């Protein structure tokens, strides 16, 4: 039986989008993967670019609001930032909640090379987290 997994973040633009991409890659054969935010900011072009560098295309993913998924019985709800964890609505399910706060690469400063280095660093943390997750 396929599991339903929801990844939540503040704006559903970077961290949750990256996690959705890796969860699909590592666990897509046994799970339906969704991502959403407590707000929607659109998918960050740097998140798309950094994932493309690792061979994963997330360009077709969309930024969704958490309210769109309230009727889905999730098995896992992953929050990837403290803000989303604090604002996460109560879902009518027995979902296992897993929280891991990742730095927000969209808040990186500096030149383009320094900003992309932060996106890559966070991407690698999320990749490791998603790969080790037991579904």
Q: 3-state class of 91 per DSSP?
A: coil
Candidates 9, 23, 36, 43; catalytic one: 9
Q: How many CB atoms lie within 10 A of CB 68?
A: 11
Residues 9, 15 contacting (CB under 8 angstroms) = yes
Candidates 6, 18, 80, 81; catalytic one: 81
With tokens 């590592």, the residue in question is 26
Q: What span, in angstroms and rounded, lies between the C-alpha atoms of 43 and 48?
A: 7
Candidates 72, 88, 98, 115; catalytic one: 88
Residues 123, 50 contacting (CB under 8 angstroms) = yes
- Annotated catalytic residue 81: yes
- Annotated catalytic residue 14: no
Please, what is the angle between helix 45-53 and helix 112-132, to 10°?
70
- Annotated catalytic residue 9: yes
The residues annotated as belonging to the active site are 9, 81, 88
């Amino acid at each position: 039986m396929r599991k339903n997994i929801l990844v939540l973040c503040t704006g559903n633009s970077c961290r949750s989008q990256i996690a959705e991409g890796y969860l699909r890659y590592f666990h897509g054969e046994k799970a339906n993967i969704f991502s959403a935010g407590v707000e929607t900011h659109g998918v960050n072009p740097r998140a798309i670019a950094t994932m493309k560098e690792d061979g994963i295309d997330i360009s077709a993913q969309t930024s969704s609001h958490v309210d769109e998924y309230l009727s889905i019985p999730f098995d896992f709800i992953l929050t990837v930032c403290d803000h989303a964890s604090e604002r996460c609505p109560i879902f009518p399910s027995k979902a296992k909640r897993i929280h891991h706060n990742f730095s927000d690469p969209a808040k990186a400063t500096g030149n383009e090379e320094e900003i992309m280095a932060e996106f890559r660093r966070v991407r690698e943390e999320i990749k490791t987290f998603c790969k080790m997750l037991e579904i």
